[in-house]
Structure 1
Amino acid sequence: MPSNSESGGFLRKLDEGFRAAGIAPSQSIICAVSGGPDSTALVLGARQLRRRYGNLVVAHFNHLARGQQSDGDEEFVRQLCIQNEIPLHVGRAGRITPTLDENTARQERYAFLTEIADAMDADVIVLAHTVEDQAETVLLRISRGAGIRGAAGMRPSRPITTTSGRDVNVARPMLDINRTEVVEFLDSALVAPRHDSSNDDWKRYARNRIRHRVMPELKALNPNITNAISRFSEIMSSNLDFVETLADEVIETASTNEPNTLMRRHVAALHPFLQAEILRQLYGSVAGPDSQLDQNHIVKLLTLISQGKSSRYHLPGGVLFRSDHQHFSVYRGNDSPPDLSPYPSPLSGTKVLPIPGSVDIGDGYRIEGAVSSPATDFGSDAACEAWLNPEIAVAGRLEVRNRRATDNFNPLGMCQEVDLNKFLINAKIAASWRDRIPLVVSPSDGRIAWLPGIRPSEWAKLPSDHKTALHLRMFVDHSEDTIPDGVNP
């Protein structure tokens, strides 16, 4: 093993990386080890830090893509773990794939790592990405048109969902360590790591093209290009943290009682960049933290929010976006859609509203009426309250029912009646809501006096010289015992 003087710098940085990734001494850690220089240095360094991080195991996945070389990598890792008394878990691909692409290989490794994490109830999966890997990742993402999230590069720690649905942190404690430091540490430890010949193939693999063709050209412009790109990614990461914090605050303010459902008015006026982050967070909370939306999906969703129309849009991973004039939500397509309506289910018939008194209109909603002094401060729930002419109550009662095909409505401020359905369409009331609105009507002629949450009628308005008013209110009854119909609340 290396001496303290030879390994001190590497171990100090590695320990700082563990701390920056939020890894606690009590946590169980899986080190992903391929046998290459970076992951070999990671596990040997973690082994020397065992006093702090003692609950350590190694996981190695054999892709079977390079024949005897792949088997040699597996044997190297096995002997490394035996010599250092570290438990080892080995996984193998189901079939030999000589032309394995990068994305498939990554998916296979992550599936194996999360399976091991579930089996041993591990808290953290540790990967050996270095500062050079970070620079290559940022360049690769920028070349594909990434935004701030891609430019922020790989983060020291992020959650990933296992097959059992459990969240495990994926940590990268070596993002401030360069390959020269890795080689020096391994040389001092007298360990010769494996070399993956596929890392030399720059024609087949995009990352290798960045490493062997692009980075040398950039170093000719700036010999310190690796650290420069790393600083750039840190700045982008800090900016992203700020935007994510703002998005969290908006989501908290705009949330409704339905999961992953926001009030549109809290979001529609924001800058599109912040709107996009809110959408990404909503989508991630449904599809999983490792899922992402591409820019085409974001642009489409921003358009739907701006329009404020009733709409549905399919997103990757079986996720649906649904919106109307007041709300939008993200949910799994096989789940029941969120109930965005501010109204109860349709009534089975006509209900009597005694004055004074209240009536149960279903789903915990009630409408109550009483004669009182007219309000001067209408408050934040004024749309669900109305102060009307007390003389509209016939024999101390009104009626509550849903709409009929022949209904007309004389909206407050208009001198004539209009077709109710056309009025609701022009008022941008969602089609799914229209049959649920509990209309308050006159029992004598059926004329609509009030559309709760929308508008009272002109004919029922309170005259300016009246000292008393008929106060109507629709609300959700949160009391444990339902108030019987006709009884003052």
Structure 2
Amino acid sequence: MNEPLQTVLAKEAAAHNMWEKDDTILVAVSGGPDSMALLHMLHGLSQEQGIKLVAAHVNHGFRVQESAYEMETVQSFADSLGVPCESVVLDMPTYIEENRLNLQAAAREKRYEYLHRIAVQYGASRIALAHHADDQAETVLMRLIRGAGLSGLSGMSSVRREKNMQLIRPLLRMNKSDLLRYCEEHEIPYCVDSSNLARYYFRNTVRLDVIPYLMQFNPQLPQSLQRLAEVAGAEDEWMEQQAAEWFDRIVRCSEGECQVECRELSGLHVALQRRLIKLILNYLSRDSENITYGAVETMRLAASTHAPATWRMDVAGGIRCLREYGVMRWVHMIAESPTASHYNYVIEEQSEGRIEASPSGWSFRLDWLAAAAAKPSSRMEAYFDVDGLIFPLHVRNRMPGDRIHVLGLNGSKKVQDMFVDEKVPPSRRELYPLLCDGEGKLLWIPGIRRSTHALAGSGSARVLRITALNE
């Protein structure tokens, strides 16, 4: 003998921790059999479970007379149960026309906005929605037709957090026919939405035509789609956990930016690579949901061994993806440094202290010595014969045509080529500091190479030591 639906609902709620004692739950009630049955079942459990209920109804203003009757029916039924009921009448047709929005998306947006507002007003921590197993099957098939991945095939979740509110769906394991029978057995009034027969809605076409046609080949198709959603949902949840662990392990994040080593990303299983990229995009932007599979795949392949060493791509949500040699970077373009304007810091003869080249993130410490006490300890340090320098010196970023006479090489070399040889990321090149003399001769590319000009040696009477610090 089948269990009563109210018992099934209680077990489903316990299995997914849908609520706790003393919680207030806002029940979204459209007036259809599903939501009216949900309100009735929750009311039957409320005393035993120690929960308080509030009903909320949204009249979208599409079907004037029908909608008015639905609102009245919901209000009357809630009153009969002693459940507070809030309702609102929206002018969705005008809103959609003025903003040129998709009808169903706009209605959902306004409906959820109202539900969240009423939930906060009553101190509710949960919003209960009446989606059932048939809705789940339709959702999975719709997403399959549109080309969804594993996350899409998992369908609607029993519990989901949205805007600091838990959305719960206690009826996901119940069929529409069972809910209709429940309404009949308990003499629950309900309304039938005439728009559910309109085939210009994709969901209606799937429900009325596609599923019945496919059931010729599999009479248990709705149940099969529900099982697919459960299996995909469990595997999707596990994959998300794995991706989150790798995110914490290998992704370095700062304000408006995430970085990961190419070898670490490409070393993961391909499924984790895609998940990790999506996590990074979601971390940086709330508008990344529309990023396509193709875009994710392009970014993933850009990290591979055979991909170009430098590469960039603008993706949805205001995010720019760059490969800079061995590093993949995702930058929110609002936070990305703009194309560098020219900067120039002057070093006069006998200037002391420290020069802060702020746009570049570099600074330079100046030490005036009586003689060349030592050779440079690294490429971050350079010694110059003061008598061979033409002052004032300048710390500036590069200009078109910059060349340097590199110590140890014959002739001069373009600074751009030096940057490429040293694998300086393209995003850093415009701001990279150069040291030149009063005539514009390049003396030193800090951290890379210095020129043949003003070399300090044993015969130098005065020496300027400059130490570069890249913070």
RMSD: 4.6
Residue 80 in 1 paired to residue 82 in 2? no
- State whether residues 20 and 156 of structure 1, in contact with CA within 8 Å, keep that contact through their aligned partners in structure 2: yes
Normalising by structure 2, report the TM-score. Answer: 0.74
Who is 1:164 aligned against? none
What is the Cα deviation at residue 431 of structure 1?
4.9
Measure, in 2, the Cα distance between the counterparts of 1:281 and 1:220: 40
- State whether residues 260 and 282 of structure 1, in contact with CA within 8 Å, keep that contact through their aligned partners in structure 2: no
Q: 1:369 to 1:47 in 2, by over 3 A?
A: farther
- State whether residues 57 and 86 of structure 2, in contact with CA within 8 Å, keep that contact through their aligned partners in structure 1: yes
Who is 1:63 aligned against? 60
Who is 1:90 aligned against? 87
Written as runs of structure 1 = structure 2, the 5 A alignment for 1:300-449 is 301-302=299-300, 307=308, 309=310, 311=312, 313=314, 315=316, 319-323=318-322, 325=324, 326-331=327-332, 336-339=334-337, 348-350=345-347, 360-362=356-358, 366=363, 387=378, 392=383, 394=385, 401-403=395-397, 405=399, 407-409=402-404, 417-425=412-420, 429-439=424-434, 448=443
Measure, in 2, the Cα distance between the counterparts of 1:390 and 1:79: 83
What is the Cα deviation at residue 65 of structure 1?
2.5
Q: 1:261 pairs with 244, 251, 258, which one?
A: 258
Q: 1:270 to 1:78 in 2, by over 3 A?
A: same
- State whether residues 31 and 125 of structure 1, in contact with CA within 8 Å, keep that contact through their aligned partners in structure 2: yes
Measure, in 2, the Cα distance between the counterparts of 1:330 and 1:388: 29
- State whether residues 22 and 157 of structure 1, in contact with CA within 8 Å, keep that contact through their aligned partners in structure 2: yes
Aligned residues: 438
Residue 24 in 1 paired to residue 26 in 2? no
Deviations 1:455-482 (A, max 9, x none): 456989xxxxxxxxx9977353xxxxxx
Written as runs of structure 1 = structure 2, the 5 A alignment for 1:5-404 is 8-17=4-13, 19-20=15-16, 22-51=18-47, 52=49, 54-94=51-91, 101-161=103-163, 167-201=164-198, 203-252=199-248, 253-263=250-260, 265=262, 266-267=264-265, 270=268, 273-288=271-286, 291-299=289-297, 301-302=299-300, 307=308, 309=310, 311=312, 313=314, 315=316, 319-323=318-322, 325=324, 326-331=327-332, 336-339=334-337, 348-350=345-347, 360-362=356-358, 366=363, 387=378, 392=383, 394=385, 401-403=395-397
Q: 1:358 to 1:267 in 2, by over 3 A?
A: farther
Deviations 1:87-119 (A, max 9, x none): 212122215689994334333322322333444
Measure, in 1, the Cα distance between the counterparts of 2:430 and 2:156: 50
| Structure 2: gaps spanning 5 or more residues | 454-464
- State whether residues 14 and 45 of structure 1, in contact with CA within 8 Å, keep that contact through their aligned partners in structure 2: no
* Between 26-35 and 400-409, the greater mean CA deviation after superposition: 400-409
Q: Which amino acid aligns with 1:420?
A: V
Q: 1:210 to 1:60 in 2, by over 3 A?
A: same
- State whether residues 158 and 172 of structure 2, in contact with CA within 8 Å, keep that contact through their aligned partners in structure 1: yes
What is the Cα deviation at residue 211 of structure 1?
1.9
What is the Cα deviation at residue 254 of structure 1?
1.7
- State whether residues 18 and 173 of structure 1, in contact with CA within 8 Å, keep that contact through their aligned partners in structure 2: no
Deviations 1:195-241 (A, max 9, x none): 2222233x322222222223233333333322222221222222322
Q: 1:389 to 1:75 in 2, by over 3 A?
A: closer
Q: Secondary structure at 1:194's aligned position in 2?
A: coil
Q: Which amino acid aligns with 1:278?
A: L
Measure, in 1, the Cα distance between the counterparts of 2:19 and 2:57: 21
**Identity of paired residues, percent?**
22
- State whether residues 435 and 444 of structure 2, in contact with CA within 8 Å, keep that contact through their aligned partners in structure 1: yes
Deviations 1:379-424 (A, max 9, x none): xxxxxx97369994658xx998334546545779977642112322
Q: Which amino acid aligns with 2:316?
A: L
Q: 1:407 to 1:188 in 2, by over 3 A?
A: same
- State whether residues 127 and 166 of structure 2, in contact with CA within 8 Å, keep that contact through their aligned partners in structure 1: yes
Who is 1:486 aligned against? none
Q: Which amino acid aligns with 1:55?
A: K
- State whether residues 26 and 53 of structure 1, in contact with CA within 8 Å, keep that contact through their aligned partners in structure 2: yes
Measure, in 1, the Cα distance between the counterparts of 2:36 and 2:81: 12
What is the Cα deviation at residue 72 of structure 1?
1.6
Measure, in 1, the Cα distance between the counterparts of 2:179 and 2:64: 27
- State whether residues 380 and 467 of structure 2, in contact with CA within 8 Å, keep that contact through their aligned partners in structure 1: no
Measure, in 1, the Cα distance between the counterparts of 2:124 and 2:224: 35
Q: Secondary structure at 1:138's aligned position in 2?
A: helix
Q: Secondary structure at 1:220's aligned position in 2?
A: coil
Q: 1:416 to 1:250 in 2, by over 3 A?
A: farther
Measure, in 2, the Cα distance between the counterparts of 1:389 and 1:6: 78
What is the Cα deviation at residue 10 of structure 1?
3.0
Normalising by structure 1, report the TM-score. Answer: 0.72
Q: Which amino acid aligns with 2:396?
A: N
- State whether residues 284 and 292 of structure 1, in contact with CA within 8 Å, keep that contact through their aligned partners in structure 2: no
- State whether residues 10 and 182 of structure 1, in contact with CA within 8 Å, keep that contact through their aligned partners in structure 2: no
What is the Cα deviation at residue 140 of structure 1?
0.7
Measure, in 2, the Cα distance between the counterparts of 1:426 and 1:225: 60
Q: 1:390 to 1:260 in 2, by over 3 A?
A: closer
Q: 1:125 to 1:303 in 2, by over 3 A?
A: same
Measure, in 2, the Cα distance between the counterparts of 1:410 and 1:117: 71
Q: Which amino acid aligns with 1:36?
A: G
Measure, in 2, the Cα distance between the counterparts of 1:411 and 1:12: 79
Q: Secondary structure at 1:387's aligned position in 2?
A: coil
What is the Cα deviation at residue 152 of structure 1?
1.4
